[in-house]
Amino acid sequence: MGQKEQAANALLDFDLLSRLIVGIGEVSEITGVPQRKIRYWEEKGIIQPVKEVEGTTRRYDYINIKKILLIQELLNDGYTLDAAAKKVEDRMENINKVFLELAKKTKTR
DNA sequence: GTTCTCACA
DNA sequence: TGTGAGAA
């Protein structure tokens, strides 16, 4: 596969990923985290699902799903929920920072 | 399918 | 920290 095709696929994947929005049932199914627990984490302010314009059902984008996965891993490693949440929060913030810096320094090509 | 709430460990 | 169950 050539570089052009790879670049095109990367853009496609990113586009799909950024549009991927699913309900709690599917999130629970793919992450293995019970729906009840996902709602519980939201109640504690740890995750912020995106509300649909119409209706009251929770919607989860890929960032939410990623967060749920990461927190679940840390819990399995013995972290408390609060500690796991804070760690995930800090990591994502740092990653965002790095990419923002990178975006500033990178010229359009 | 989804929501909330009360009770419980 | 999380679950069960019922009702809407």
Which domains does chain A possess? 3-105 (1.10.1660.10)
DSSP string computed for A39-83: HHHHHTTS--PEEPSSSS-EEB-HHHHHHHHHHHHHHHTT--HHH
Q: Which nucleotides of C are covered by protein (CB under 7 A)?
A: 1-5
Which whole number is the average pLDDT over A17-36? Answer: 95
**Is residue A3 scored above 60 in pLDDT?**
no
List bases, strand B, within 7 Å of protein CB: 1-5
**Reported pTM:** 0.87
Q: What does the pLDDT look like over A56-91, one tens digit per residue?
A: 999 999 999 999 999 999 999 999 999 999 999 999
